[in-house]
Chains A and B, each alone.
Chain A
Amino acid sequence: MEPSQLNWRIARSIIGHRWISATILLAITLFFAAGLRNVQLQTIFSDLLPSDHPFVQTYKAHPNFGNPLTVTIMVQRKDGDIYNAETLAKVWDLTRDIDLAPAVDHDQVLSIATEKARYAVAVPGGIDVRPLMENHPPRTAAEIADFRERVKKSPNARRFLIADDQSATLINATFIEHNLDYGETFRYLQQLVEKARDAKHEVFMAGQPALTGWVYHYEWEMLGIFGVTAAAMILALILYMRNVTGVVAPVLASVVSAIWGFGFVGWLGVPVEPLVMVVPMLLVARSFSHCVQATERYYEVFAHISDRRKAAEISMAVMMAPGVLGIFTDVAGLMLVAVAPIPAMQRFALFTGFWAMMLVPTSVLLTPLALLWLPRPKNVKSIVGADAEEGTGHRAIKHLLDRIARLTFGRRARATTAVLLVAVALGGWEFSKLTIGNPVEGTPLLHPDSEFNRAVAAINRHFPGVNTLEVVFEAKSEDRLDRVVRHADTIMTMQRFQHIMEDNPNPPAATLSFADYLGEANRLFSGGNPKWAPLDRDDAAVSAAAGALMVGTSPKAFLHVTDFEQRNGTVSLWYKDNRQETVDEALRQARAAVAEVGAEHPDFRIRLAGGTIALQQSMNDTVDQYHYIILGLLNLVILLGCGLAYRSLMAGIILLIPVNLSNLFLLAVMTALGIGLDVNTLLIMAIGIGVGIDYGIYLLSRICEEYQDYGEEGAAILASVTTTGKAIFFTAMINLIGILPWYVMSELKFLSDMGLMLVMVMLINMVLALIALPLCVWWIKPHFVRSKDLLVGEGVDLSQFVFHQPAVADEARDVEGLLADSRRKGVAGAKS
């Protein structure tokens, strides 16, 4: 009588109504395929920030502070200063060409060559304000000397546009967000920069739009990596399976699951984050490995019973529970990433979690259906391991696994356990030194020696730089015409805050606020004497200075310090680097200064903070806060899931030990390499546990199964490691093939780092699954291993299905005999 459990009933139903099943799967695939046209690959940088963090909320409320839409180009003279006709002409030409850039805001192009870079002199009855450059760049010695004199009369140009050593100058251009196509603008600017470089000049480009452009530029290369990865995985499949069916079935299932995954987000209109594209590739690899195991099991059954339909039904039924459990843990790992309040990661969790979930119908259900219709391969015996002529590679793997297995039980288990415990102790000690965050000069998205990060470093060396902390002065009233930044209390508080910050033992490299411009305006319009720079402490005086400053000027000229309506302002604090000590000290000082001047005022409040310093800290705080939460939740979910599947909490504990040790070792290695915990690690931890635990599930299920044959843990471990270990080995390899190219080939450090860490965690997981899990079984000798009624057990008595056809019976008996013989030989050694 055939089994009547749920998995068997489902399998019988699907195979029995295979045309209906296939039609339904096809219809669903077509539905999701229709959603593919809506798929957007898009990096939304602000969505990489934790949305619940107060710094991020401040940044999002005042996104213009800190110049997120500004590109900064530095022209550096290599053999002297910029005061020569050639360099000044280059700056002039570049400035004019930048004004032609797509989406540039023509009112916000600033360099020493624009009319907005002015010098002012007091003249009888008023002031004379002139541009630093006239209608052409200085050409003669006299014009250059005159230009140099004008620069001396322009403190803002000296401070923010020309380097202290006079060797470099900046061109700033701000772009209109709703018109901005980052790729197009970046390509235009990059060709300008490359054209402007010559033997005497170096030209650097930084700023958020340039960064976005670089990321988009490199994201195109992902298509190439995707192609290489897919080709490598298919090649691995071909080498492993050596038949058309064994290759076509996994590829078909993987393509269908990819269509479902991408189609799902397409229909939802949720953009896919390309920076974590390595994870979808991992899912393709997961799909391959699930399919390969299903395929192997199908041929194993087919070799016994020689009935394709029945073989499909049986293999589907027996693979369903372990397959679903493995996928469940993948889904849990991916979905729990959403606990961290980072919108890009939450979207990513939704996308990859759904995709992983869909591996159940596509891999577990579709693969047997496909195998049913695809031609029968000629090398079935070889696939199921019954071929006497086993390949050299297979023999070597088997031999290695045999050696490993023998370390985990019997007398050698003690030594192995001791070594493992020592390794854990060392790992724990190293782990205790783990730091939060990976500060780099520039962006962690790109490599330190990337053109962008070198540009940031160069600009930081010559100018106040790009590491800012923006302390926001925010209007309380809703009246759009109440220009709070022009109130005396606001300006005086800004000045006091700056004074306190600058008075610290380790002050910022520079500070800037709207108040600084008002002081200079007050001085000039009062006759030019420096004694008139301080403002009177009343609204009339401040308003007068603001009015004078803004005459003939667009508010856009001051968007870096106050918004268009001049209701909210910022005090920008520049720091020379973004090392964690600097960040900590900057925030400590800023908090103390805010406490001293008071955060709440009648017309405004002071909010911490925007700028790269604050945003870096927000990421670190989130990683620090959530990595244990995600880790804990994941352990809990998997413990409950596996406990249910094996009907034993002990099974969950045994499965969780190797994956948690893997994480410990990963973090220890990271610490040893000087890498801190960051947002990548959050993902890797979750995926490492969710995906890595599959190895343990395969092995533990097999141990339970083998225990029924041998009735003894050691023999069961040996039989399991040498058989399922091979599948684990293949699965790990196919995962590595899917991930490793991203580490080697990607110019995006974020992606590359993620690839490296995934490779590390998957390798560590594989090794620990083969060593730590059998050790646990050996030492604990859990009761559930002896259970004959496991949900996830893959065992089945095939005799009840065979020998309907006498002609094939002999062949089937041969195969079974060889399989049993092979296993007995190995286990006999173990018992001895």
Chain B
Amino acid sequence: MHIAKFGHGFSRRVFLERTAQGICAAGVLAPLWSTIARSGDITKAYPAELLSIDAHTKGRIKTGDVITAANVDIVKHLLDPVAYRQVKEMGRRFTIVPTTTDATRLFPHEYLEATLRNAGKGRLDADGNVTTSDGKPWIGGNPFPDAKTGLEVFANLVLSWGRHNDSVYAIRDWDISPDGAVSYQYDFVWAEQNTIGLTSGGTPYIEGKEDKLRYQAVYFTAPSDAKGTAYLNTWYNDQRKFPDLIGYIPAFKRVRNFPTNQRFEPLVPGITYFLSDAWGAGDPMLTWGNYKLVGTQPMLGSQSANFTGGRNANWERGLHGGPQNQTFFDDYKELCPECFVVECEPVGYPRSPVSKKRVYIDARNMMFIGYVTFDRRGELWKSFEPAFSQYVDGNTKVMDGKHVAWSWTHVMSHDIQTNRMSRFVQAREIVGGVRSEYNQGPSIYSRYLTEQAVRRFGT
């Protein structure tokens, strides 16, 4: 007979008390980050009810079960409101997989090492920017692995989006209309290169670029009428400054300068997400404000088992749900023992159509597993739900250098007011022959992240 050491509501009471006090403190039975630092395993930080869906639901949902409209009410408290509605009303389903207790499977290897190496060195300066304890730009990994405030939690998201020094994501996107048909389809490249906070290569900065945070570009390769259209973002380390944004129109060989605060428009017609939505933290963090921790809770998040490379050569995935059975991706969710629910407001955007965003961040790796925005009436507007995984599927493995890659696999961005869905996968290869790749070094910059590269790509 198994005797539970802690009653079923124990963790819930702990979470409620912390939220009431407005503090983050990852780990219920023991501080999470020191537990990870010691063994890489989170088991000792949480009671059984937070480590297994079986225990959490007292056996009503078991690992391997598929969550559908019939049983979603059992796990309603573990989902963001849009995900719940998708399952309950729109035919979405997902499969439960075991909770990942080995923290090394939740990060790119170098990023975890940098986080451990630099733990305790992150500070917020008087302006609110992240620095090291000696006032220099950040040096890699999560600056606040044991974040205490909503802003610190967010800093972990903003400073390194993909958690590699550089990444090229080959993305295939489908935009689904309310009647369930595909109304737009794009192939595009998302390239990003951090200039500070580098986790490997001997130096945390790209020389001469210490005032920047990252370069990031989007290149469309298909369909033909969008081919060559590109955007280049230059982010500053100072999170109060808006990124520079230019677009490139290949047919005219012209650059279009956008207002720096135009971040609530789609890049191309048909997609539902804005630049502001990227990674749940698509804008400099100090252009938003009023960060608040509004809850700490377990959640169902797509944190593992989502790589499909062993079953689909191009890493694409099965579909289901919606009017034409193609609105949602098949995906896998696990019980994430502890998530911080942080809200913030677009204080730097007087014309923002968004009143606030709520981001659900997994305490284990400080990565967002859910993100919803609200319109200015306070009504739910959009959800931007990512999935992550180590890139292992059966015998298929993808490396990011010497180690198995960890990255996002797919995203579903759902405007529930107009009921338009954009869903996209990180594909192995897209039209134009571009492939996903990570930690390729300085070549990424010259290939993708300069105005010359943007112009060259369009020709």
Which A residues lie at the B interface, using CB under 8 A? Answer: 96, 99-102, 105-107, 109, 113-115, 123, 125-131, 135-136, 176, 178-179, 480-481, 483, 486, 525-526, 540, 543-548, 550-555, 564-566
**B440 on interface, CB distance cutoff 8 Å:** no
27 pairs of residues in contact across A and B, judged by CB atoms under 8 Å: A101-B377, A109-B353, A115-B262, A123-B257, A125-B255, A126-B256, A127-B254, A127-B255, A127-B256, A127-B257, A129-B256, A178-B419, A480-B177, A525-B251, A543-B224, A548-B251, A548-B252, A548-B254, A551-B229, A551-B249, A552-B256, A552-B262, A552-B268, A565-B177, A565-B183, A565-B270, A566-B269
Residue of A nearest to B348 (CB): A135
Interface residues on B, range: 35 or more
Residues of chain A within 8 A of B266, CB atoms compared: 552-554
**A191 to nearest B CB, angstroms?**
15
**B131 on interface, CB distance cutoff 8 Å:** no
Say yes or no: B257 contacts A481, CB within 8 Å.
no
Other A-B pairs, 18, CB within 8 Å; known A126-B255, A545-B251, A547-B249: A96-B351, A100-B376, A106-B376, A106-B417, A127-B255, A127-B256, A129-B257, A135-B350, A480-B181, A481-B183, A481-B184, A483-B225, A544-B251, A546-B225, A548-B252, A551-B247, A551-B249, A551-B268
Residues of chain B within 8 A of A545, CB atoms compared: 251
Residues of chain B within 8 A of A550, CB atoms compared: 268-269
Say yes or no: A481 contacts B223, CB within 8 Å.
yes
Residue of B nearest to A125 (CB): B255
Partner of A131, one of B177, B247, B249, B259: B259
Number of A-B residue pairs, CB cutoff 8 Å, is: 123
Partner of B417, one of A105, A548, A555: A105
Cα A545 to Cα B254 with chains together (Å):
12
Residues of chain B within 8 A of A480, CB atoms compared: 177, 181-183
Residue of A nearest to B451 (CB): A125
Residue of B nearest to A483 (CB): B225
Residues of chain A within 8 A of B265, CB atoms compared: 115, 552-554
**B177 to nearest A CB, angstroms?**
7
Residues of chain A within 8 A of B258, CB atoms compared: 129, 552
Residues of chain B within 8 A of A546, CB atoms compared: 225
**A507 to nearest B CB, angstroms?**
32
Residues of chain A within 8 A of B375, CB atoms compared: 99, 106
Say yes or no: B177 contacts A564, CB within 8 Å.
yes
**B231 to nearest A CB, angstroms?**
8
Residue of A nearest to B272 (CB): A554
Residue of B nearest to A135 (CB): B350
Given contacts A106-B381, A486-B225, A554-B266, contact A114 B351 (CB under 8 A): yes
Say yes or no: A128 contacts B251, CB within 8 Å.
no
Say yes or no: B270 contacts A564, CB within 8 Å.
yes
Cα A453 to Cα B87 with chains together (Å):
46
Which B residues lie at the A interface, using CB under 8 A? Answer: 177, 181-185, 223-226, 229, 246-247, 249, 251-252, 254-259, 261-262, 264-270, 350-351, 353, 375-377, 381, 417-419
A-B complex: 5 closest residue pairs judged by Cβ atoms: A544-B251, A126-B255, A106-B353, A525-B252, A126-B254
Residue of A nearest to B266 (CB): A554
Residues of chain A within 8 A of B246, CB atoms compared: 126
Say yes or no: A126 contacts B257, CB within 8 Å.
yes
Residue of A nearest to B227 (CB): A547
Cα A525 to Cα B252 with chains together (Å):
6
**A63 to nearest B CB, angstroms?**
14
Cα A106 to Cα B416 with chains together (Å):
13
Cα A554 to Cα B382 with chains together (Å):
15
Cα A293 to Cα B224 with chains together (Å):
79
Say yes or no: A128 contacts B257, CB within 8 Å.
yes
Cα A107 to Cα B246 with chains together (Å):
21
Cα A99 to Cα B353 with chains together (Å):
7
Residues of chain B within 8 A of A136, CB atoms compared: 350
Cα A106 to Cα B269 with chains together (Å):
16
Residues of chain A within 8 A of B381, CB atoms compared: 106
Residues of chain A within 8 A of B184, CB atoms compared: 481, 565
**A115 to nearest B CB, angstroms?**
6
Say yes or no: A547 contacts B229, CB within 8 Å.
yes
Cα A123 to Cα B254 with chains together (Å):
10
**B247 to nearest A CB, angstroms?**
5
Residues of chain A within 8 A of B224, CB atoms compared: 543
Say yes or no: B269 contacts A554, CB within 8 Å.
yes
Cα A555 to Cα B258 with chains together (Å):
18
**A708 to nearest B CB, angstroms?**
71
Cα A746 to Cα B375 with chains together (Å):
38
Cα A102 to Cα B226 with chains together (Å):
34
**B6 to nearest A CB, angstroms?**
44
Cα A107 to Cα B259 with chains together (Å):
17
Given contacts A106-B381, A551-B268, A552-B267, contact A526 B252 (CB under 8 A): yes
Cα A101 to Cα B259 with chains together (Å):
26
Cα A555 to Cα B418 with chains together (Å):
13
Cα A545 to Cα B251 with chains together (Å):
8
Cα A126 to Cα B377 with chains together (Å):
38
Residue of B nearest to A525 (CB): B252
Cα A550 to Cα B181 with chains together (Å):
21
Cα A176 to Cα B266 with chains together (Å):
18
Residues of chain B within 8 A of A483, CB atoms compared: 225
Say yes or no: A543 contacts B251, CB within 8 Å.
yes
Say yes or no: A107 contacts B351, CB within 8 Å.
no
Residues of chain B within 8 A of A127, CB atoms compared: 254-257
**A23 to nearest B CB, angstroms?**
45
Cα A105 to Cα B382 with chains together (Å):
12
Residues of chain A within 8 A of B270, CB atoms compared: 555, 564-565
Say yes or no: A176 contacts B418, CB within 8 Å.
yes
Cα A552 to Cα B182 with chains together (Å):
20
Q: Which residue of B226, B353, B375 has the most chain A CB atoms within 10 A of its CB atom? A: B353
Cα A130 to Cα B256 with chains together (Å):
10
Cα A114 to Cα B257 with chains together (Å):
18
**A7 to nearest B CB, angstroms?**
57
Residues of chain B within 8 A of A554, CB atoms compared: 265-266, 269
**B173 to nearest A CB, angstroms?**
13
Residue of A nearest to B354 (CB): A106
Residues of chain B within 8 A of A123, CB atoms compared: 257
